[in-house]
């Protein structure tokens, strides 16, 4: 049976409402588990990483829902909003469902942790094609053409927040 032993415990209190505690060391007898310098009131880098992961997953799901519901489903159903957009950029209607399938495939790849990087890269390519099509027909810059940039940045921010390996490659925070 394992027993936990507090090696050194310091209780600090400035007032009745602000009371903090700090463990200098925590050990479990019978194992080599050690946890040094844990402060019960200050956020640790581990909890910060968890908060970033949660924020990244929330943003990822919102992006996935947007791409699936607001973009792919209208293409599958042949809704006027999707067909008029295809006509505006000069794409034939025969590609409507294919583009919807590509969007759904990119979303699935992006939401699966093992293939998230591939999904982000492919989604970026898809959004680049959308940007080029809107730019070619001189659609409004900030609302139509650059929307692909906004969404692409959101995809990469979401991936950066949820994947520690991506944060290691692009260390924006220390």
For residue range 26-62, what is the model confidence (pLDDT) as tens digits? Answer: 444 444 444 444 444 455 667 888 999 999 999 999 9
- Token representation of residue 48: 């910060």
Model confidence, pTM: 0.71
| pLDDT for res 16 | 40
Output the average pLDDT for the chain.
81
Residue with tokens 């469902």: 97
Among 2-11, 88-97, 165-174, name the most confident range.
Answer: 88-97
| pLDDT for res 146 | 93
Q: How far is CA 168 from the centre of its chain?
A: 15
- Token representation of residue 65: 């829902």
Share of the chain above pLDDT 70, in %: 74
pLDDT bin (cut points 50, 70, 90) of residue 144 is confident
CA distances from 17 to 12, 98, 124 (A): 12, 61, 49
| pLDDT for res 172 | 82
d(CA 62, CA 9): 43
Q: Where are the beta strands (DSSP E) in the chain?
A: 4-13, 19-28, 34-39
Kindly list the domain boundaries of the chain, sorted by start residue: 4-39, 45-165
Comparing CA positions, the residue from 102, 96, 44, 57 lying closest to residue 75 is: 96
Residue with tokens 């970026």: 124
* Complete edge-to-edge strand list for the sheet that includes strand 19-28: 4-13, 19-28, 34-39
């Amino acid at each position: 049976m394992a027993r936990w032993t507090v090696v050194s415990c310091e209780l600090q209190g400035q007032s009745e409402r602000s009371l903090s505690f700090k463990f200098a060391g925590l050990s479990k007898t019978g194992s080599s588990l050690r946890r040094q310098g844990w402060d019960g009131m200050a956020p640790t880098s581990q909890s910060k990483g968890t908060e970033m992961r949660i924020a990244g997953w929330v943003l990822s799901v919102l992006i996935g829902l947007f791409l699936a519901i607001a973009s792919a489903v209208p293409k599958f159903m042949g809704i006027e909003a999707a067909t008029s957009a295809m006509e505006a950029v000069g794409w034939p209607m025969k590609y409507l469902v294919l583009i919807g399938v590509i969007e759904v495939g990119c979303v699935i790849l992006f939401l699966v942790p093992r293939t998230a990087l591939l999904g982000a890269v492919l989604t970026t390519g898809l959004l680049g094609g959308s940007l080029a099509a809107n730019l070619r027909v001189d659609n409004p810059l900030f609302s139509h053409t650059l929307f692909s940039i906004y969404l692409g940045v959101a995809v990469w921010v979401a991936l950066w927040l949820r994947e520690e390996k991506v944060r290691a490659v692009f260390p924006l925070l220390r």
